[in-house]
Structure 1
Amino acid sequence: MTARTFIRCGHLFDGLSGQAVPAQTLVIYGDSIDWVGPTAQSPAMGEVDTLIDYSDCFVMPGMVDCHAHISYGNALTQEDIDLYASMEFRALRSMVAAQAILKSGFTSIIDPACSGMVAPAVRDAVNVGLFQGPRITASGRALTTQQGLYDWYPQWIGVPEASTGVMTTSLDQAIGLIRQQAKDGVDAIKLTMDGIHARRNGGGLIAAYTQAETHAMVDEIHRLGKLAVVHARGREGALYSARAGVDIIYHASSICDDGIQAALDKDVVLCPSLALLVNNIDFHEPTDPSAPWWPDIQRRELNTASRNLQRAREAGVRFMSGSEAGFAVTPYGEWGAKELEAHVRYLGFTPAEAIVCATVESTRLLRERDRLGGLAKGKLADIVAVKGDPLSDITVLQRREAIHAVLLGGRPVDLSPAPTHARHFSEFSQGMWHRVYDRAYVNANFPREAAAGVPA
């Protein structure tokens, strides 16, 4: 007789009712939930069964980070992402990144752009049991153009082979890359629908692809059975993407009324990823190279996103939760749950709605979507036990000490911290100075003896 695991819950938030119910029990058989209900009515335990006592915990489904880049390496600069670490090192580093995310209570992720095929490789390693990690829905390199994200560098450099983006210069080439990625086994294919190029006189970001090109690429992605996901901060890119019927629009900060209606018509999901904006505002320091200009840009976008995305939500557009983990300001395992707080603070979600979004709504497009989506009979036993009440204080989920236990398919996760902040010299550029030391600056800031470098 196969043993079952009985979990006594202080309060159970199953993600389906929207409520936390006291004195409940979960019964796990294999990797799935076999029974859920009041403790007083639970099945009798057998001799080989195990009891886990979370009677002082808030028990909820595992969370999902729908925007996590495990190959980025907590990058300090775009060059750190694209240029320096070897692909082999990135793959090993990504395994640890995935584990750090899991340890923070996120049992599933979507990685919408990675170096090479790193994310699908880590996904496969997890799935065959080489190591324990979150369930991963993975993309490869994101398709871009000269108007899109990832084309950061001068023309004589182009888009490096190790970049998380790949350049397309024609529709035929884009279709070929889509077919190649589908052959290579990705779950999703990402299009960068805008970048940093804006129209004059406040016209907003320029769409990277035309409407016709977007339709053709999305149709081909869907024909091949893959998810079509896009980066689109601007009005034009979000509108074209929604009209084409993509599955997920990341950011959508400047989505317009026509874009909102198209998203409703085509059942397009928005993933705002506000945690990156909020952290860039909250954590910037004067010594950061971007300090003079970046925080103000992020503030403006956050204000714009809050207005437009609240309108989208009021209209009935569906949302997912994703933090854009992978940058130095959104390191793995640290701020995933801040996205839930951002949904409450800036988009009008209640804490219960934010948790449902991150635990049920965010599973609807995952690889394992048929077996995920709340704590109910037949669903995978991906569970988080929390010391505290996130319904009264959503920030509880950001506290490492509050994450009492994480179960993945009923198996406990080792919550000892992952060494995600250890850095190898090959991961980043050889930064040496933060300014030019001309004579005026040196005379004003350094003693003559120190400037000379020799004893007086």
Structure 2
Amino acid sequence: MPRTHVLCQQLFTGLEDNVRRDQTLVIEDGVLSYTGPAAEAPAQAPGDEVIDAGQHFVMPGLIDVHTHLVFGNAKSEEDIDLHVSPEFRALRGLFFTQHVLAAGYTSVVVPGDAGQCSISVRNAIDAGMFTGPHIAASSNVIANRQSLNDWFPSWVGTPEYFTGRLCATREAQIAEIRRQAKDGVDVIKIAMDGTHRRDNGEHIAAFTEDETRAMVDEVHRLGKKVAVHAYGREAVLYAARAGVDVIFHAFFLDEACIEAILESGSHLAPTFTMLANNVEFAEDYEASTRSGYAEMQRRVIDIGCRNLRRAHEAGVPFMTGSDSGFAITPYGEWHAREIEILVDWLGFTPAEALRAATSVSAKMLPASRRVGALEVGRQADFILVEGSPLDDVRILQERDRIRGVFLGGRRVESRVPGYDPNRVSDFNTVKWSELHTRARAMSLGKRSATGNPLQDM
């Protein structure tokens, strides 16, 4: 079988801090069979392909462990759950994989959607019907009363096609885990945060510690990974003690949580990107500022940065996720901002942040997906970057700097197809975003104090 030889003047393996010079990758049947000095590489044989990376920075394909692939760049929970069918969501998710891939992300974890949406996208790609990133698929988020994903009032309930699945009893929780395992998920997500708080402002976890441990034990018994949404200290603590694979956010964790994470081997994925975008772009959306939403996000960022810096300094392992799939975090646009945030906000070195986005995040993919690093035995997923992310990680956010995307050693011609949001993503029926009182009209300069128009209609 012909081999592929990739000539690398600068190679970052995803496993160490430094760049290796004058290296060669040899690929056989999509898998790396040699990574090392060019002078010691196996000789090229007739029929072998040679790829000269030139001056480009060669590194593993990036991994986002928090991409909601089928949410369609939603503006609201209603956009996610009500306006389009699960079948359309799956097809739309397949479409948006192209945007993700073009950004240099060759693997994504989908933490929660409806039914078999991301499962179907994964299966279509795995079957060779379409080209796309490796996907760790999931199904409905396991929710409890008053938790994240129990969005809608009790008279609406949680129909089958909703992203959340209400599991209010131990029996229901275990039954849902087994259903999802039967359907072929790779990851099961639990909504650990409750919406209620104690008098001191602390979030009350949506599940007890015993319930959490029982769910995590069952997920792991069935060979699947566990991701949890947890802002609050109590939810983080329960999740860590249960040994979940990754905790999203964890902004209000304390020293007890850090100790539990280090003991259990769990990982953190802060997903600051959505909060950062909400704060930065709220200036252009007055309703967000008036509602106090942007200011709340600023407070969470301030607290989260202080707490998560301590976690990093203590040696807690971090993964990278962007919460892509919402209007504030569209597909293919902001995935790599999380790498920049780890460096600028949490004190990571660029190499640490790149490892978090490659070899560490790869641990959330199934064991059969040997990705995330350029070493013998792993799949040959890599990207060519113009410039060095070790000098400036921000360049990974510039799509024109991603000069080549390779899956299994084969170059992927990345496409970013345009689309009409009103036909693909934006189906909400909201006609006004604020209350247009007379006082509001005056503040906008539409009326004088006497009520007379100030401009022609």
TM-score range, shorter chain: over 0.9
Q: Deviations over 1:379-432 (max 9, x none)?
A: 110001000111010101110110000101111111231336644178421121
Which letter maps to 2:446?
Answer: N
Distance 1:190 1:79 in 2: 20
Q: How does 1:274-285 map to 2 (within 5 A)?
A: 274-285=272-283
- Tell me what 2:267 maps to: 269
Alignment of 1:118-133 (within 5 A): 118-133=117-132
User: Is the CA contact (8 Å cut-off) linking 2:16 and 2:351 kept in structure 1?
Assistant: no
CA drift of 1:132 comes to 0.8
The question of whether the paired residues in 1 share the 8 Å contact of 2:75 and 2:426 is answered with no
Q: Which amino acid aligns with 1:148?
A: S
* Matching of residue 404 in structure 1 with residue 400 in structure 2: no
Tell me the distance in 1 between the aligned counterparts of 2:425 and 2:398.
32
| SS class of match (1:221) | helix
Distance 1:5 1:44 in 2: 11
Matches within 5 A, 1:323-402: 323-368=322-367, 371-402=370-401
Deviations 1:171-198 (A, max 9, x none): 1111111111111111121110004322
Matched residue of 1:55: which SS? coil
Query: Residue 224 of structure 1 aligns to which amino acid in structure 2?
Result: L
Gaps of 5+ in 1: none
Q: May I ask how many residue pairs the two structures share in their alignment? A: 451
1:426 to 1:352, Cα distance in 2 relative to 1, 3 A: closer
> Counterpart of 1:238?
236
Q: Does 2:310 align with 1:303?
A: no
Q: 1:61 Cα deviation (Å)? A: 0.5
Q: Report the secondary structure of 1:348's partner residue.
A: coil
Residues 121-160 of structure 1 correspond to what in structure 2 (within 5 A)? 121-160=120-159
2:98, 2:415 within 8 Å by CA — same for their partners in 1? no
Write the distance in 2 (CA, Å) between the matches of 1:12 and 1:219: 39
State the distance in 2 between where 1:420 and 1:221 align: 38
Alignment partner of 1:52: what SS? strand
* Stretch deviating more after TM superposition (77-86 or 398-407): 77-86
Give runs of aligned pairs for residues 53-452 of structure 1, distance below 5 A: 53-202=52-201, 204-287=202-285, 289-292=287-290, 293-368=292-367, 371-419=370-418, 422-424=421-423, 427-439=426-438, 441-442=440-441, 445=446
Of residues 158-167 and 177-186 in structure 1, the stretch that sits farther from structure 2 once superposed is 158-167
CA RMSD in angstroms comes to: 2.1
Letter of the structure 2 residue corresponding to residue 19 of structure 1: N
Provide the rounded CA distance (Å) in 2 between the counterparts of 1:420 and 1:318. Answer: 38
Deviation of the 1:27 alpha carbon? 1.7
In 2, are the aligned partners of 1:147 and 1:207 still within 8 Å (CA)? no
Partner SS, residue 53 of structure 2? strand
Call closer, same or farther: CA 1:451–1:181 in 2, change over 3 Å: farther
- Aligned residue for 2:345, secondary structure, equals helix
Corresponding residue SS for 1:404: strand
TM-score, normalising length from structure 2? Answer: 0.93
**Which stretch of the first structure deviates more once superposed, 425-434 or 207-216?**
425-434
Compared CA separation, residues 156 and 452, structure 1 to 2 (3 A): farther
Identity of aligned residues (%): 45
CA contact (8 A) 1:79 1:428 kept: no
Structure-2 separation of matches of 1:146 and 1:288:
32
Gap change, CA 1:225 and 1:420, over 3 Å in 2: farther
Partners of 2:390 and 2:455 lie apart in 1 by: 58
8 Å CA contact 2:34–2:376 kept in 1: the answer is yes
**CA offset digits 1:356-380 (Å, max 9, x no partner):** 1111111123114662241112211
Deviation at 1:327, TM superposition (A): 0.9
User: 3-state SS of the aligned residue for 1:319?
Assistant: coil
TM-score by length of 1: 0.94
Cα pair distance change 1:266/1:442, threshold 3 Å: closer
Post-superposition shift, 1:452?
Answer: 10
